[in-house]
């Protein structure tokens, strides 16, 4: 199994969720073994995608370097990670990824449009070897060994539309596109009003988020899935786990997880080499992990 990038550069212009300002983003193919790299063209700063680059996790996952930041990276990274892309440069002329419709489906369409290219170096993955978890009050996130890539998320909101929701996602590209990528970010009207009072969520609208008051959804078109809320949590978690730097083979579980807990989980996994191993999927072609990944990629056309 080989590393992946996109076939050619592609450009998109949109607005950021929190600052509400226009941003131009270019996705550029990179050579094998380059990894995922962010570049602020207006500042001339390159920011690598690592847990050490994370500077904030309150409302989104934010990376930074020398005071220059890039915010709300999780939706784009979720799509990149889901497609198994290893090498890519993300060029931005402002400090936030375009929010599009609040999901990652637009980024999936962008990747489908330009196509994926296999490269001449073997693909590597990070395999979870030992169970680890991070707990904070009634919230917990954990990783467990598995030959598959699984995301299992549970939420419980005291709201008549949400309530208790649970979803288990066994990874493949097609399943991601169908069942995860279209799930939108969500928020409550009183939170939106507060966030705007402190200069955040300025780009938020019913066009790029599910907004709820105390009793109902305000979006006239309703939900895309009955359990769209928990599915979006999985979308976010996939993006957050991409900061490990490799495709993660293992089972992720969360009860009321968050960007902050996901960040702590990536750091905890990497702090002890006994927790994981980096495997070469070219050498391990007959292992169950490699076979499962090959099947997960099989429905996506790669040339």
| Alpha carbons 289 and 278: distance in angstroms, whole number | 12
Backbone angles phi, psi at 111, to 5 degrees: -65, -40
Q: Which two tokens stand for residue 157?
A: 């909101």
Are 40 and 115 within 8 A, CB to CB?
no
Closest Cα partner for 80 from 247, 194, 199, 296? 247
Answer yes or no: 260 catalytic: no
In sequence order, the β-bridge partners of residue 136 are: 139
Q: In terms of DSSP bridges, do strands 132-136 and 88-92 run parallel, antiparallel, or are they unpaired?
A: unpaired
CA-based torsion, 116, 120, 121, 127: positive or negative: positive
Dihedral angle, C-alpha 111, 114, 115, 120, nearest 10 °:
-110
User: Of these residues, 75, 232, 259, 260, which one is catalytic?
Assistant: 259
Are 47 and 39 within 8 A, CB to CB?
yes
Residues serving a catalytic function are 259
């Amino acid at each position: 199994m080989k590393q992946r990038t996109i076939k050619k550069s592609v450009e998109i212009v949109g607005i950021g969720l929190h600052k509400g300002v226009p941003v131009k983003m270019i996705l550029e193919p990179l050579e094998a073994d380059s990894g995922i790299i962010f570049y602020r063209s207006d500042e001339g700063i390159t920011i690598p995608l690592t847990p050490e680059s994370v500077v904030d996790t309150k409302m989104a996952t934010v990376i930074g370097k020398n005071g220059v930041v890039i915010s709300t990276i999780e939706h784009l990274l979720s799509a990149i990670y889901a497609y198994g892309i290893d090498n890519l440069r993300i060029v931005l002329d402002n400090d936030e990824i375009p929010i599009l419709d609040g999901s990652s489906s637009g980024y999936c369409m962008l990747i489908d449009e330009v196509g994926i290219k296999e490269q001449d170096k073997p693909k590597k993955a990070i395999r979870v070897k030992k169970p680890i978890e991070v707990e904070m009050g009634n919230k917990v996130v954990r990783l467990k060994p598995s030959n598959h890539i699984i995301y299992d998320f549970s939420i419980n909101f005291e709201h008549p539309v949400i309530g208790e929701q649970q979803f288990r996602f066994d990874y493949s590209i097609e399943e991601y596109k169908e069942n995860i990528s279209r799930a939108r970010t969500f928020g409550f009207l009183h939170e939106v009003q507060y966030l705007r009072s402190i200069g955040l969520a300025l780009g938020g609208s019913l066009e790029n988020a599910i907004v709820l008051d105390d009793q109902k959804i305000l979006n006239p078109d309703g939900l895309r899935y009955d359990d769209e809320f928990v599915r979006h949590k999985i979308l976010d978690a996939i993006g957050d786990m991409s900061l490990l730097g490799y495709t993660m083979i293992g089972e992720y579980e969360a009860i009321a997880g968050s960007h902050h807990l996901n960040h702590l989980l990536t750091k905890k996994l990497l702090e002890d080499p006994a927790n994981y191993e980096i495997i070469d999927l070219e050498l391990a072609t007959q292992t169950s992990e490699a076979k499962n990944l090959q099947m997960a990629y099989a429905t996506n056309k790669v040339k």
